[in-house]
Chain A
């Protein structure tokens, strides 16, 4: 239980902490410390187990099918990192209390910091690699938010974006690597993966998996060539830099290498990739650090260099090197965090971080200066401090590498060179800031010591530098042993934590580095002049340029595809469908299945010819819109005939009535539109469109032909068998609609209702003046509504309504039903509008179509919900028979209520749509306003 708790607590704290923001900075700092204190207390009981090389596992199932579990694992290595995260985290909380100004958003700051802490603990404590991946990405996100904490600064936003792009991109690579490893091993659990090291290394995908995992680690830990994000992340508030970008987050990549060391290390590929990357980073970081005038910039590049050192140690592949690497993780975290805090204090007290202006601070803040000098000496590797010990181990290991020939000299030379640079930049940090004349033009003058408690974290860390430096075996010995044994997976080589191992080659290298560094610093002006000859590459500018170029290209592609032309979209759509289906269709050719062809009878043939002719004519004569419409209506009518011909009476009736409504609709619309489509495209383009259309048509023909001649099996046996006994109706199509698939139908009439209401809303306050004539020089006829039509239409209404009721009632057993009856009623009503006009008809229609739609949906839902009352599932229907005096035995089904809902919705929706269009012209709008008044 305790391990998930340790990870969860900071997140809970992140929710709770902002509540204390009202109480001031002290209150929120105390509240934010609670999770870490509890976590430390929760981890303490496990120490005995871990010191003996044991492992604590807490596992809960989460998504077993995907191999993801909520499993947590504590061993020496994860304990070491957890302690760094928790203890330095506590110091940072205290430090930030004084660093942040009262007016800043401290609630947000502490919440983010705690979120980060929880994510980081998640990385080091996860046993499941996929779970670890989730926390890994969370650290990238929280780091992004923390770097950009001062959102008003453009540099901060850009730095944050760059950090997110690099570490997030690396995270994707890592995810791929982890998936590969999980695939090879067959499990994502750490114990299984660590045990399967030989299996992984022998696998053919090992190089790929290794490269991907290392990409993740190198981007996170700012290794060359991805190191450039780290210096730019220094735009973050200093507590963040001290915590995330020196002590913890950038160590996550190192942690990953240590964690997977038994599974991945020990091969040639590991050696070359890791050690050479480390070497390059070590040297480049150390060299660049010397020339930075920004205090934090110097520290950032120095961090890059030290991360390179640790990576190089892991890359060497010897066990002692791994021990040294773990040791240096501890030491670097301690001295670098304290140096960042000292830099923050100086920034806080002087208002600048430019070392050309900050000079001679010893006179103003001797206490801070002493602490910073201790930490800086540790960074330089001065004896009796912790940095010296691990650096000494590093020098010793660099001599042990068995590289061929002259290459054997490369690691020790690079190590010494980096050592010289390190001494030089440390000397600069001390001498330039605290001595070297007087301050120049400080924004805050005179500077003085910071608040008492702000120095406490620095004091603790500086004290730790000395303690570890003088009494290494007592202070960190056991922890280092536990961590090293967990890293190596058992056996730890013999090593001695003593201050001096006697006069040997590593000590000589230290001497060379120390005096060489001091010499270099004293001659610094020459180096500065030399360095100034090279044009400095601004990584941020390069990065921004790359990003903006990618964005530009993306915009260009989007603009090419999405150019606002429906024509283009339709073209792309059709062409891609044709392209995708071309291969299989060409392969298939003219395919006639086992069922073969049936003979054609004359009437069907003629009807088909009429249909085809009218369809083609519609396309050919489409410029004259009215003709096209007439031809289109012929096509629709023949389609209705086709349904009737091929055993679908319901469809035929539906198609027939929809056809009428559709043509009326289009006719109404045409009234407002130009009646002629001008020629606006080139002949070539039209020929191209014809070709595309022909290909699409040919494709459809081939597909249809192949399908129609194939035998098939259907699930409809069930419907045919159960229609009468189960649904109480003999018209299977109708029973399917209102009973078997009633829920679908409910959805469909809802869509219908929404479409109609959408139409109403779109046209509600719109007025459209129709063109004065038909576009061919004829004015509209001024005649009123034709008398004959009026006279015929009015008596038709009751007749038509009666027919529709009949069709509705018989629908369950004979062709008909709610849809068809609704459409017939609509047609009858529309006829009145056409014959007698909007105003006359509207005066006599005593209800609103909106209400009708609502009522229809209500009926349908009630019919469905009724079955719930009898504890049957939604939309279960029942039926019975009653005997009426004249009619005889009559069936009543509850589905009929549902069908009534369909009926009402169809009428309401159809008429609302058409009447909305009819009202459009200003003429009828004025009239309808008069009506209202």
Chain B
């Protein structure tokens, strides 16, 4: 189980990092979301993997560690707030500069020419 869990986190991280290194806002946001899944799972698992041991007094015989859960719960909510903020930042950038690049090259090449490229790309 531990190996499976670790591999899953690894896959999430790898996919997230790859997307993080793209040149447009949207893939970066998606990449960040994937990385935050990985991080949340990792933080959560510092309390180790337990089955049927929810930290609710009286519900079971033994309880898993509640502290990482409390940390991750707020992390999930704050993570959403941060994602929203970054998304809005990129929307504002799109509105002001008519561009969604994050690689430092400002270009207005995302409308018509891209679509022709994408057709050939497909």
Interface residues of A (CB under 8 A from B): 563-568, 570-571, 574, 595, 597-600, 604-605, 608, 611-612, 615-616, 618-619, 622-623, 625, 628-629, 632, 635-636, 639, 642-643, 645-651, 654-655, 658, 661-662, 665-666, 669-670, 672-674, 676-681, 689-690, 692-694, 696-702, 704-705, 707-709, 712, 714-716, 719-720, 723-724, 730-733, 736-737, 741, 744-745, 748, 751-752, 755-756, 758-759, 762-763, 766-768, 771, 775-777, 813-815, 819, 823, 906, 909-910, 913-914, 916-917, 920
Contacts and interface: CB of A to CB of B under 8 A. Distances in A.
A654 B76 contact: yes
Given A646-B50, A733-B70, A763-B91, A678 B81 contact: no
A705 B13 CA distance: 14
Given A567-B102, A635-B37, A736-B66, A689 B51 contact: no
Contact of B87 (A564, A666, A751): A666
A748 to B, nearest CB: 5
Given A689-B21, A755-B85, A647 B55 contact: yes
Given A623-B121, A705-B2, A693 B15 contact: yes
B104 interface: yes
B66 A701 contact: no
Contacts of B109: 678
A758 B23 contact: no
Of listed A625, A655, A697, A709, residue having the most chain B CB within 10 A? A697
5 contacts: A600-B1, A673-B25, A697-B10, A700-B6, A700-B13
Contacts of A598: 1-2, 49
Contact of A733 (B37, B59, B73): B73
A647 B52 contact: yes
Given A625-B27, A678-B118, 4 more contacts: A698-B14, A708-B5, A767-B95, A813-B56
Interface in B23-64: 23-31, 33-34, 37-38, 40-42, 44-59, 63-64
A616 B15 contact: yes
A917 B59 CA distance: 42
Given A679-B117, A736-B67, A913-B88, A696 B17 contact: yes
Interface residues of B, number: 96
B94 A768 contact: yes
Of listed B26, B27, B77, residue having the most chain A CB within 10 A? B77
Nearest to B107: A680
A172 B64 CA distance: 54
Contacts of B59: 730
A153 B83 CA distance: 52
Given A635-B34, A662-B33, A707 B45 contact: yes
B41 A708 contact: no
Given A759-B88, A814-B56, A654 B4 contact: no
Given A697-B17, A730-B57, A751-B81, A616 B11 contact: yes
Contacts of A906: 77
A574 B22 contact: no
B115 A730 contact: no
A658 B76 contact: yes
Nearest to A644: B54
Contact of A676 (B9, B10, B67, B118): B118
Contacts of B73: 650-651, 654, 733, 737, 819
Contacts of B82: 755
Nearest to B10: A701
A771 B110 CA distance: 11
A720 B5 CA distance: 26
Contact of B21 (A574, A694, A913): A574
Contacts of A701: 6-7, 9-10
A762 B81 contact: no
Contacts of B33: 632, 636, 662
A665 B34 contact: no
A744 B71 CA distance: 10
A645 B73 CA distance: 16
A731 B104 CA distance: 48
B6 A705 contact: yes
A316 to B, nearest CB: 62
B1 A648 contact: no
Contacts of A920: 91, 95
Contacts of B12: 611-612, 615, 635, 697
Of listed B21, B25, B29, residue having the most chain A CB within 10 A? B21
Of listed B7, B84, B96, residue having the most chain A CB within 10 A? B84
Interface of B: 1-31, 33-34, 37-38, 40-42, 44-59, 63-67, 69-70, 72-74, 76-85, 87-92, 94-96, 100, 102-105, 109-111, 114-115, 117-118, 121
Nearest to A611: B8
Given A599-B1, A751-B78, A704 B10 contact: yes
A-B CB proximity, top 7 nearest: A697-B14, A701-B10, A565-B104, A564-B104, A566-B102, A693-B18, A730-B57
B79 to A, nearest CB: 8
A696 B13 contact: yes
A678 B54 contact: no
A677 B27 contact: yes
B38 to A, nearest CB: 7
Contacts of B6: 700-702, 704-705, 708
B8 A674 contact: no
A825 to B, nearest CB: 14
A665 B82 CA distance: 12
A752 B77 contact: yes
Given A622-B27, A654-B73, A639 B87 contact: no
Contacts of A731: 55-57
Of listed B69, B96, B115, residue having the most chain A CB within 10 A? B69
A704 B5 contact: yes
Nearest to B67: A716
A732 B77 CA distance: 18
Contacts of A680: 23, 103
Contacts of B4: 600, 604-605, 608
B11 to A, nearest CB: 4
Contact of B55 (A674, A732, A763, A819): A732
A585 to B, nearest CB: 12
Contact of B70 (A564, A625, A696, A736): A736
B51 A645 contact: yes
Contact of A692 (B3, B17, B63, B66): B17
Contacts of A763: 88, 91-92
Contacts of A628: 27, 30
Given A658-B77, A708-B48, A768-B91, A632 B30 contact: yes
A672 B3 CA distance: 41
Contacts of A677: 22, 24, 26-27
Of listed B5, B78, B117, residue having the most chain A CB within 10 A? B5
A912 to B, nearest CB: 10
A763 B84 CA distance: 12
A701 B10 CA distance: 5
Contact of A723 (B38, B41, B57, B117): B57
B57 A732 contact: yes
A707 B55 contact: no
Nearest to A731: B56
Contacts of A910: 80
Given A600-B1, A658-B76, A748-B74, A567 B87 contact: no
A661 to B, nearest CB: 6
B70 to A, nearest CB: 4
Contact of A678 (B40, B78, B117): B117
B52 A766 contact: no
Contacts of B55: 647, 716, 720, 731-733
A678 B114 contact: yes
Given A647-B54, A708-B49, A766 B37 contact: no
A917 B84 CA distance: 10
A720 B63 contact: yes
Contacts of A595: 48
